[in-house]
């Protein structure tokens, strides 16, 4: 790429990995000509923890507490995909009540993730007020999570065949109260932000991605839908009980940072609609398929010896993963979160490959920031919505 150079020597600037607007330990090596960005090279791996290799040396139940550390702002989705993979592999049936509870938890987690995208994104642009507003609603969601799961962020709530515990008494009423309150909060955000002239100057036309480019780069989630592609896995490849609810896919055709903001704000309102319908229709019955606890348990394991069964600590139920392979995906707040699982007739997965949306979406960053100003890097990077836990794994 040939750009007119105003100086003989270009400046190479290191952004991150400690910069607060990097949203984690992302490092950008930026080549500048004055304020103009000539080149940008993302450096990854500062948060690599070997999550895939750990999975291949643990049973699914043992691995569940680890997975919330991928995307620690949308923890329910990482749990969902971790239990969905063996459920699909072994064709395990889930009680209808458990499926509805999962949908409610997933949509609450989607709202919490979008809120903690919105606040820092606005702070990157210089608007501090929304950063404090979003914590007000997010704390209410975490109160609901704490009441149902016992934990605010790292829940360990999903199980193969259902969920760990039923919803406590009074939880559904509290959740409905939150839904009514939050719809007013979304209107407040829109009034405060959407028509703000300074905000529009910073985001309109910045970081443009065409629909064809978005598909070619493999983008997903709001990054894809903001470029005019109406692709939401909850509609095109339904899982859990999403096909029983009435809601609309949020999309925009402009493809810039403003469009990505509008998609995410719209998704929060649609999530509330799904939660309200799920609560209204939630059936009775069991919250876990207890037959799964005896499902294909390894026969001659040392865990079945007298010493372990009657004297030692009771182990978690184990599942033998049959010799098959499959790819499972869910529509996470940041895009398509997938798992490629290969079983090997043993307790441990033979291969556990994570397809994180943030890692794929981040690929397009160098192309978006070229020919832009230095200050636009924060806008564009913020609009992509990355979490380094899942990018580096």
Average pLDDT, the chain: 86
Question: CA-to-CA distance for 268 and 250, rounded, in angstroms?
Answer: 10
Cα 263 to chain centroid distance, Å, stands at 15
User: What is the share, in percent, of the chain residues with pLDDT greater than 70?
Assistant: 91
- Residues 224-245 have pLDDT tens digits of 999 989 998 988 988 888 889 9
Mean of the pLDDT values across residues 27-33?
Answer: 90
Burial 50-71 (b: 16+ CB within 10 A, else e): ebeeebbebbbbbbbebbbbbb
Bond into 45 cis (ω within 30): no
User: For residue 180, with 0-12 CB atoms within 10 Å meaning exposed, 13-18 middle and 19 or more buried, which class applies?
Assistant: exposed
Question: CA-to-CA distance for 192 and 265, rounded, in angstroms?
Answer: 13
Mean of the pLDDT values across residues 186-194?
Answer: 89
What is the pLDDT, as a whole number, of residue 90? 82
- Residues 304-316 have pLDDT tens digits of 565 555 555 555 6
- Residues 277-289 have pLDDT tens digits of 999 989 888 887 7
The DSSP-derived string for 256-268 is SHHHHHHHHHHHH
Asked if residues 251 and 62 have their Cβ atoms less than 8 Å apart, the reply is no
What is the pLDDT, as a whole number, of residue 347? 86
Helix (H) or strand (E) holding 79: helix 75-90
Which domains can be identified in the chain, with CATH numbers? 51-296+310-371 (1.10.645.10)
What is the pLDDT, as a whole number, of residue 6? 54
Q: H helices within 282-362, ranges in order?
A: 306, 357-362
Comparing 38-42, 126-130, 318-322, 332-336, the range with the smallest average pLDDT is 318-322
Instruction: Please say if the pLDDT value at position 325 is more than 70.
Output: yes
Binned at pLDDT 50, 70 and 90, residue 34 comes out as confident
**Residue 281 CB neighbours (<10 A):** 12
Binned at pLDDT 50, 70 and 90, residue 300 comes out as low
- Both tokens of 376, joined, read 């636009």
Binned at pLDDT 50, 70 and 90, residue 5 comes out as low
What is the pLDDT, as a whole number, of residue 345? 84
Cα 273 to chain centroid distance, Å, stands at 19
Instruction: Please say if the pLDDT value at position 39 is more than 80.
Output: yes
- Residues 115-169 have pLDDT tens digits of 999 999 999 888 888 889 899 889 999 999 999 998 888 888 998 888 988 899 9
Instruction: Please say if the pLDDT value at position 328 is more than 80.
Output: yes
Comparing 75-84, 152-161, 314-323, the range with the smallest average pLDDT is 314-323
Question: CA-to-CA distance for 348 and 339, rounded, in angstroms?
Answer: 15
Residue 353's contacts (CB-CB under 8 Å, 6 or more residues apart) are: 52, 339, 340, 341
What is the pLDDT, as a whole number, of residue 291? 64
Helix (H) or strand (E) holding 87: helix 75-90
Instruction: Please say if the pLDDT value at position 16 is more than 90.
Output: no
3-state DSSP assignment of residue 84:
helix
What is the pLDDT, as a whole number, of residue 261? 93
Instruction: Please say if the pLDDT value at position 292 is more than 80.
Output: no
Separation in Å, CA 300 to CA 203, 284, 305, 318, 367: 61, 37, 8, 12, 55
Separation in Å, CA 120 to CA 225, 378, 379: 21, 11, 11
The pTM of the full predicted model, rounded to 2 decimals, is 0.89
Question: CA-to-CA distance for 387 and 74, rounded, in angstroms?
Answer: 10
Comparing 20-34, 42-56, 107-121, 310-324, the range with the smallest average pLDDT is 310-324
User: What is the share, in percent, of the chain residues with pLDDT greater than 90?
Assistant: 37
Asked if residues 223 and 384 have their Cβ atoms less than 8 Å apart, the reply is yes
- Both tokens of 345, joined, read 């007739």
Question: CA-to-CA distance for 82 and 128, rounded, in angstroms?
Answer: 36
């Amino acid at each position: 790429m040939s750009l007119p150079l105003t100086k003989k020597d270009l400046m190479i600037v290191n952004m991150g990995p400690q910069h607060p607007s990097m949203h984690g330990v992302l490092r950008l090596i930026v080549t500048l000509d004055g304020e103009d960005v000539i080149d940008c090279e993302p450096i990854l791996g500062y948060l690599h923890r070997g999550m895939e290799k750990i999975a291949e040396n643990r049973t699914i139940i043992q691995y569940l507490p680890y997975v919330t550390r991928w995307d620690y702002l949308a923890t329910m989705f990482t749990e969902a995909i971790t239990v969905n993979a063996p459920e699909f592999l072994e064709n395990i049936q889930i009680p209808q009540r458990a499926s509805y509870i999962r949908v409610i938890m997933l949509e609450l987690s989607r709202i919490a993730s979008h809120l903690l995208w919105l606040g820092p994104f606005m702070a990157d642009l210089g608007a501090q007020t929304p950063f404090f507003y979003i914590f007000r609603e997010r704390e209410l969601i975490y109160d609901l999570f704490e009441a149902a799961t016992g934990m605010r962020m790292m829940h360990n709530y999903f199980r193969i065949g259902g969920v760990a515990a039923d919803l406590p008494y009074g939880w559904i009423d509290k959740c409905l109260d939150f839904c009514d309150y939050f719809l007013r909060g979304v209107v407040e955000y829109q009034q405060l932000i959407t028509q703000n002239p300074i905000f529009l100057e910073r985001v309109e036309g910045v970081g443009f991605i065409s629909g064809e480019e978005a598909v070619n780069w493999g983008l997903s989630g709001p990054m894809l839908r903001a470029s005019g592609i109406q692709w939401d896995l909850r509609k095109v490849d339904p899982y859990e009980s999403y096909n029983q609810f009435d809601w609309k896919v949020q999309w925009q055709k402009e493809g810039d940072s403003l469009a990505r903001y509008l998609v995410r704000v719209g998704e929060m309102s649609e999530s509330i609609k799904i939660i309200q319908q799920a609560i209204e229709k939630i059936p009775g019955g069991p919250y876990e398929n207890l037959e799964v606890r005896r499902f294909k348990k390894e026969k001659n394991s040392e865990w079945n010896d007298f010493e372990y069964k009657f004297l030692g600590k009771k182990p978690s139920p184990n599942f033998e993963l049959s010799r098959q392979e499959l790819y499972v995906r869910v529509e996470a707040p940041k895009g398509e979160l997938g798992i490629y699982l290969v079983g090997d007739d043993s307790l441990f997965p033979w291969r556990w490959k994570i397809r994180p949306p943030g890692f794929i979406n981040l690929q397009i960053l160098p192309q978006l920031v070229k020919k832009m100003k230095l200050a636009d890097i924060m806008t564009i990077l913020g609009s992509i919505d990355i979490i380094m836990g899942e990018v580096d794994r």
